[in-house]
Amino acid sequence: MVDTGELARASDPSFFYEDRDYRRLIKVAHAAAFSTKPSDEVGPQLARLGINARTDVRRVILTHLHCDHADGLTYFPNADILVSRAEFAQTHYAFPRTWPIWFRPTLVDYTDGAFGAFAACKRVTDAGDVLLVPTPGHTFGHQSVMIRSGDRWVCLAGDATHTEGQLSVGEPTGGVADVKTARATLATLGRHRAQLPLLYLPSHDPASPDKLAAWS
């Protein structure tokens, strides 16, 4: 499982008011308005696919700790949860008071050498067909997931960019913790994409589901 989505509780803006940073975001940028129904949560979505989140999912990778990617963690008490060490050490608009009390992520260091344009990666599988690469900028320790399918690769990019178009332009937009680092990440992703067949799928790009369906 890569990222766990938002919960219905976030549809009530008052849920965020106890957190000073989110209160500021809501007031200044109107950036945190959610519309999530209980049936949209990851647990029910997996159940509709015949997958039990509690017992069938061994591993959860979080691209970063923003609530719309991490709140669904509550469905995965038995999974090994992978978060980059940098992300856990320096959070950016994360919401720790809402984390499950059992949340003890496995912290990822990128110790498995270069991969394409990336100077370092971390293998998730022995076969090397699922890799993590550091894509910081949107948050300080953001990571993306590379999955091999035959001789092709899919990149689950999280929020490295919000759309594929931003990668082509090389300019990050939206909430960015560190613009300079984000630009460097986009340059690396761009070089990487030029080296090998890569389907680039950012979480918030409305076109991502159709692109994945067309690719497979």
Nearer to Zn ion, 24 or 54 (CB): 24
Question: Which token pair is 48?
Answer: 């509709």
What is the binding site for Zn ion (CB under 5 A)?
66, 159
Nearer to Zn ion, 116 or 141 (CB): 141
Q: How far is the CB of 78 from Zn ion (least distance, A)?
A: 25
Nearer to Zn ion, 116 or 158 (CB): 158
Q: How far is the CB of 71 from Zn ion (least distance, A)?
A: 12
Strand, coil or helix: 14: helix
Query: What is the 8-class DSSP label of residue 4?
Result: -
* Residue number, nearest CB to Zn ion: 66
End-to-end Cα spacing for the chain: 18
- Residue 150, Cα to own-chain centre: how many angstroms? 23
Strand, coil or helix: 11: helix
Phi, psi of 42 (to 5 degrees): -65, -35
Q: How far is the CB of 66 from Zn ion (least distance, A)?
A: 3
Nearer to Zn ion, 161 or 188 (CB): 161
Q: How far is the CB of 73 from Zn ion (least distance, A)?
A: 15
Nearer to Zn ion, 71 or 159 (CB): 159
Q: 156 — alpha (psi -120 to 50), left (phi > 0) or beta? A: beta
How is 30-98 classified by DSSP, letter by letter? --------GGGSHHHHHHHTT--HHHH--EEE-S---HHHHGGGGG-TTSEEEEEHHHHHS-SS--GGG
Nearer to Zn ion, 66 or 192 (CB): 66
Q: How far is the CB of 143 from Zn ion (least distance, A)?
A: 12
CA pair distance 73, 189, nearest whole angstrom: 27
Q: How far is the CB of 194 from Zn ion (least distance, A)?
A: 25
